[in-house]
Amino acid sequence: MNRSQWYETLKERVNTALLSRWVGQRLVRVGRGYAEVAFSIKRHHLQRRGQAHGGWYGFVSDTAGFFAVMSLCGPEDGATTVEYKINLLAAATLEGSPLTAKARVVKHGSSLAVTAMKVVDNRGRVVAAAIGTYRIFPARSHGSAKEDTNGGSRRGVPAGPDHRTPEPDPATPQGALVWPGRTRRQRQGP
28 and 38 Cβ atoms separated by less than 8 Å = yes
Which range, of 57-71, 119-133, 158-172, averages the lowest pLDDT?
Answer: 158-172
Domain ranges of the chain: 3-137, 159-190
What is the model's pTM?
Answer: 0.70
pLDDT in tens, 139-156: 874 344 444 444 444 444
The span from the CA of 39 to the CA of 27, in Å, is 9
35: number of Cβ within 10 Å: 29
Looking at per-residue pLDDT, the higher value among 84 and 96 belongs to 84
3-137: CATH superfamily: Hotdog Thioesterase (3.10.129.10)
